[in-house]
């Protein structure tokens, strides 16, 4: 009987082991009007623990406040979705971190549209407390906007307490569109950084900030003797009254802006002391004399559609200030669309990496042959872009064959034993298709 006892003891030990560690696995709490764990995101947060996820499974209109020291949860939409979280009609912020004076464990907001649309107004995200705040949050693949016409609490993200000066990158934002209006500022500083000289409170990568019009600004600093402590890489700032604006002569640490496109703004930089301007490198920006690798005075033709209400800020074929003119050093590995960077050898300036959508199909007629036979190779193409484009098509003549002739005005280049046939195609309109062909004769065994 003893041999039979050993597996029973082992199984029991394994069961106890799993039970002991099961609390370490983070939970997911779903939120929707019916059929979910909770009908309120506030109730879900109150029940959750640090590291748990609050998952939206429907749009909701509600304000939420975090006021539990050290407790942070991830916020996201159901897989494959991006739901809208709007603020309630009470002039409070959609989301408040209140009186949390200790550093939170890292947490994320992802795949969510955050808004405040009610007529009473309200900030979208407000960081406040009795001391320094350190939110330690990453916002990824979201839309942040404030569509209310009220001038009450008019910011997308704002701190109403001093920032913790001991840690960088307190709000990191990736692949996110931040949309303004004549009634709100974007990422604002309403309280000092607490005297720190080396901290960067907003860190943006592959983001779009647009339509902060009227008297508003994408970044706004209202604190005397501070600085616009931001870092931005490969972002696009479009149709803003001001991109970076301060309320006075600031004399502390400035930010770092790299590979960014400033387009159609009234002022790219406004009211910043010369010593307080961020370090601009490899940007396309209005004016001159900013920094290494910068391109100056980009035109609206840099992008595919510069309409104010619904722009397409992907780079156009007419871009001469952005394509392959950024720096690869410190550049992100993907762009706003999550496509790999760089497409060519050098990273493009702005949130989007320029790439053409030209589907092609190659055919050979006949499919088989012997020495002395001529084969016709054809390439059929379609312009899958939403604009008229120009591009080249090239193909290599197989080693066992010699080039004979071509259609559609090709050219031929020889690189040692390699023969390349190419076509230069100009002005191919959206959706247009075509075909190019060349003939080659089989001369030898491969």
Q: Is residue 430 part of a domain?
A: yes
User: Which residue from 116, 134, 114, 194 is spatially nearest to 162, judged by alpha carbons?
Assistant: 194
Give 364-376 pLDDT, tens digit per residue: 999 999 999 999 9
Check residue 276 and give its pLDDT. Answer: 63
Residue 382 resides in a domain: yes
Return the pLDDT at 7.
36
Reply yes or no on whether the pLDDT at 223 is more than 70: no
Q: Are residues 145 and 64 in the same domain?
A: yes
48 pLDDT band, cuts 50/70/90, is: very high
On whether the CB atoms of residues 326 and 234 are closer than 8 A, the answer is yes
pLDDT attached to residue 82: 97
24, pLDDT greater than 80? no
Q: Does 7 reside within a domain? A: no
Q: Are residues 240 and 367 in the same domain?
A: no
Q: Quick check: is 94 in a domain?
A: yes
Asked if residue 309 and residue 164 are part of one domain, the reply reads yes
Within a domain: residue 322?
Answer: no
CATH number for the domain spanning 412: value is 2.60.40.740
Asked whether the beta carbons of 222 and 248 are under 8 A apart, the reply is: no
Question: Which range marks the domain in which residue 407 is found?
Answer: 360-442
Which backbone phi and psi does 371 adopt, to 5 degrees? -55, 130
pLDDT band per the 50, 70, 90 thresholds, residue 167: low
Last residue of a domain, one of 245, 280, 315: 315
- Residue listed under structure tokens 């996820």: 53
The answer to whether residue 188 sits within a structural domain is yes
Per-residue pLDDT reduced to its tens digit, 137-165: 999 999 999 999 999 889 999 987 777 66
Nearest in space to 225 (alpha carbons), one of 257, 191, 259, 255 = 191
| Dist. CA 237–CA 244, nearest whole Å | 10
More confident residue, 56 or 3: 56
Higher pLDDT, 107 or 225: 107
The reply to whether 381 and 248 lie within a common domain is: no
374 with 267, same domain: the answer is no
Quote the pLDDT of residue 385.
Answer: 78
CA nearest to 42, candidates 22, 9, 67: 67
Dist. CA 265–CA 267, nearest whole Å: 5
Residue entry with tokens 């039970």: 19
**325 belongs to a structural domain:** no
Instruction: Decide: 297 and 286 in contact? Cβ < 8 Å.
Output: yes
15, 109, 155, 347, 439 from 144: Cα distances, Å: 46, 11, 10, 26, 55
How many domains would you assign to the chain? 2
- Both 364 and 292 in a single domain? no
3-state secondary structure the chain: CHHHHHHHHHHHHHHHHHHHHHHHCCCEEEECCCCCCECCHHHHHHHCCCCCEEEECCCEECCEEECCCCCCCEEEECCCCCEEEECCCCCCCCEEEECCCCCCCCEEEECEEEECCCCCCCCCEEEECCCCECCCEEEECCEEECCCCCCCCCEEEEECCCECCCCCCCEEEECCEEECECCEEEEEECCCCCCCCCCCCEEEECCEEECCCCCCEEEEECCCCCCCCEEEECCEEECCCEEEEECCCCCCCCCEEECCEEECCCEEEECCCHHHCCEEECCEECCCCCCCCCEECCCHHHEEECCCCCCEEEECCCCCCCCCCCCCCCCCCECCCCCECCCCCCCCCCCCCCCCCCCEEEEEECCCCCCCCEEEEEEEEECCCCCCEEEEEEEECCCCEEEEEECCCCEEEEECCEEEEEEEEEEECCCCEEEEEEEEEECCCC
Contact between residue 287 and residue 297 where contact means Cβ atoms under 8 Å apart:
yes
Q: Are residues 311 and 387 in the same domain?
A: no
Residue 430 CB contacts under 8 Å (≥ 6 apart), including other chains? 383, 385, 386, 387, 388
Residue 198: predicted pLDDT: 46
In tens, the pLDDT along 228-237 reads 678 999 999 9
Identify whether residues 123 and 209 lie together within a single domain. yes
Chain mean position to CA 432: 31
Together in a domain, 308 and 391: no
In a shared domain, residues 34 and 178: yes
- As a whole number of Å, the CA-based R_g of the chain is 28
Provide the CATH number for the domain around residue 178: 2.160.20
Q: Is residue 17 part of a domain?
A: no
| pLDDT for position 10 | 35
Q: Are residues 373 and 295 in the same domain?
A: no
Q: CA-CA distance, 398 to 406, in Å (whole number)?
A: 15
> 238-242, 273-277, 291-295: which range is least confident on average?
273-277
Query: To the nearest whole percent, how much of the chain has pLDDT over 70?
Result: 85
Residues 133, 277: one domain? yes
Its pTM surpasses 0.85: no
Beta bridge partners of 232: 204, 257
The distance in angstroms from the start CA to the end CA of the chain is: 73
| pLDDT tens column, 301-339 | 999 999 999 999 999 988 999 999 999 999 999 999 999
């Amino acid at each position: 009987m003893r041999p039979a006892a050993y597996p029973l003891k082992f199984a029991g030990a394994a069961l106890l082991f799993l039970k002991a560690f099961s609390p370490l696995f983070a939970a997911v709490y779903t939120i929707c009007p019916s059929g979910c764990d909770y009908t309120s995101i506030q109730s879900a947060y109150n029940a959750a623990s640090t590291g748990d996820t609050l998952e939206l499974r429907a749009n909701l209109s509600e304000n939420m406040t975090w006021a539990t020291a050290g407790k942070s949860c991830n916020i996201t939409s159901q897989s494959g979705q991006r739901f809208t979280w709007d603020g309630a009609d009470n002039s409070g912020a959609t989301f408040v971190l209140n009186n949390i004076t200790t550093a939170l464990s890292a947490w994320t907001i992802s795949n969510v549209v955050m808004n405040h649309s009610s007529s009473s107004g309200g900030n979208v995200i407000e960081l406040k407390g009795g001391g320094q705040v350190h939110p330690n949050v990453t916002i990824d693949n979201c839309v942040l906007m404030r569509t209310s016409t009220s001038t009450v609490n008019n910011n997308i993200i704002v701190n109403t307490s001093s920032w913790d000066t001991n840690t960088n990158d307190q709000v990191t934002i990736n692949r996110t569109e931040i949309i303004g209006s004549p009634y709100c500022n974007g990422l604002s500083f309403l309280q000092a950084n607490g005297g720190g000289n080396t901290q960067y409170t907003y860190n943006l990568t592959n983001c779009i900030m647009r339509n902060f019009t009227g008297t508003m600004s994408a970044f706004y600093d209202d604190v005397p003797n501070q600085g616009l402590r931001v870092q931005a890489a490969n972002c696009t700032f479009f149709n803003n009254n001001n991109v970076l604006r301060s309320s006075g002569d600031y004399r502390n640490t400035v930010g770092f802006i790299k590979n960014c496109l400033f387009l159609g703004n009234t002022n790219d930089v406004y009211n910043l002391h010369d010593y307080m301007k961020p370090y601009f490198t490899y940007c396309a920006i209005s004016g001159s004399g900013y920094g290494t690798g910068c391109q100056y005075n980009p035109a609206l033709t840099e992008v595919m559609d510069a309409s104010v209400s619904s722009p397409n800020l992907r780079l156009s074929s007419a871009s001469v200030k952005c394509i392959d003119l950024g720096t690869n050093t410190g550049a992100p590995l993907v762009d706003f669309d999550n496509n790999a960077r760089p497409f060519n050898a050098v990273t493009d300036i702005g949130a989007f990496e320029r790439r053409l959508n030209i589907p092609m199909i190659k055919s050979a007629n006949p499919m088989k042959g012997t020495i002395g036979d001529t084969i016709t190779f054809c390439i059929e193409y379609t312009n899958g872009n939403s604009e008229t484009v120009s591009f080249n098509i090239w193909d290599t003549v197989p080693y066992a064959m010699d080039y004979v002739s071509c259609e559609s005005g090709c050219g031929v280049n020889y690189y040692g034993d390699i023969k390349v046939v190419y076509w230069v195609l100009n002005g191919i309109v959206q959706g247009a298709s075509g075909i190019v062909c060349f003939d080659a004769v089989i001369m030898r065994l491969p």
